[in-house]
Amino acid sequence: MDRPRRARGPLRRVFTTLVNEMKEELAKEDPDEEVLEVQFNRLEGYAEKMTHFDNVTMDALLESNATEEELDEETLACEEYNKKLVTMSQCSESGVYIHVSAYRRKTYRLPKLELKIFGGDLTEWLSWWSQFEKIHLDEDLETSDKFQYLAQSMMVGSRAKELIDSHPMTAANYHKAVQALKERFGRDHLLVEVYVRELLKMVISNVCSKDKCDIMKMYDKLESHLRALDSLGVTTDKCAAMLFPIVESSLPEELLRVWQRTEIPSRADAGTTSLTSLMEFLRQEVRNEERISLARSGFGMTKDKKVRSKEDGGGDNCATSAGLFSGQKTECAFCKKPHPTQDCFRAKTLSYDVKKQKLHEMRCCFSCLKVGHNANKCRNPMRCQV
């Protein structure tokens, strides 16, 4: 941590000297614009170098579990130089516009990004290639290293992995492997067909399924497929006439009826397509469902009661009218057969202690032998006559 601070010290001194020189030039009656521009370019260069050492120092402080006072002191010191840079860029007296690149301090650590894994699923190509393309276009990275990253981002045992492994891992074969991967999985017209088929699957699922449709999940799928098509050049402006009936057919019947009855002002606009209006309608329905779900859930008390009811076996242990309902099947406490406990013939062969234990386990009244109350609360007038 001391080494980056020592390296940063001379940079800060030169930075301060340049700031003073700019102030002297600005104080003149007729400041030289070319001199100011050169000085600020140098100032900006030193600021970028200082930013590097600021980040290294802050990382070292975070790793060493530095106190809040030390972190605050480091942050405030960096902020002073940031203010100087901003002040020099905004001096209205000079009449010179100077572009400022932000002088930033990193006070946090971002998690490391992991490469997406591609296994040959065409619906995953766009998101995977969007990330890997940064590596592919990085001119500072060796071609052989790019090939290594490409191989690591393939799912083991997949078609994509087999295709990459068919090319010897050399720098000369990297571009051939990428081209082969694009021709196999990244053709635009093939991806368009895939996402259109995904929309058709939603239509078939809507027709065949008897379960209630989850509007939120359905909207998310539709939005995802339409955005993918848009990124492939199949925009809603050009292909709305083709996509609209497919999307409309994927809606459940109740929602489709609401859509037909709904009068949306945007549907009358000349520049708005039917597909755009339909997606806006679905977006509003999703918002309504979220508000309804929030209103029903309340503070979570209803859910807790349901969970508690399941855990307790469906109700409290006290006697209730539902528990004593005569229409329920009667089960003997002694032999578990469907007859009243007091009529059990097997009970005559059991000892008193065994009978008492079974009645206790079944929570039966020792007086009337029924479930749901104790003998001291029994309303049965029957008493022993002996």
pLDDT tens for the chain, 386 residues long, are 577 788 888 888 888 888 888 888 877 777 777 888 888 888 888 888 888 888 888 888 878 888 888 888 888 888 888 888 888 777 634 444 444 443 445 566 778 788 889 998 998 999 899 999 999 998 888 999 999 999 999 999 999 999 999 999 998 999 999 999 999 999 888 888 888 888 888 888 777 777 777 888 888 888 888 888 888 888 766 677 778 888 888 888 888 888 887 755 544 454 456 778 888 888 888 888 888 888 877 666 555 444 455 445 444 444 444 444 444 567 787 787 778 877 787 777 788 888 888 888 887 887 787 777 777 777 776 655 43
In angstroms, what CA-CA distances link 139 with 134, 242, 251? 10, 41, 47
Q: Could you tell me which of 32, 55, 54, 51 has the C-alpha nearest to residue 43?
A: 51
Q: How far is CA 92 from the centre of its chain?
A: 46
Contacts of 376 (CB under 8 A, 6+ apart): none
Give residue 207's identity as a one-letter amino acid code.
Answer: V
Note the pLDDT of residue 92: 39
Task: For residues 12 and 151, give the distance between their C-alpha atoms in angstroms, rounded to a whole number.
Answer: 44
Note the pLDDT of residue 302: 52
pTM score: 0.45
Size of the chain in residues? 386
Q: How far is CA 167 from the centre of its chain?
A: 36
SS3 state at 118: strand
Half-sphere exposure of 182 (CA within 13 A, CB side): 12
Note the pLDDT of residue 273: 62
Task: For residues 349 and 351, give the distance between their C-alpha atoms in angstroms, rounded to a whole number.
Answer: 7
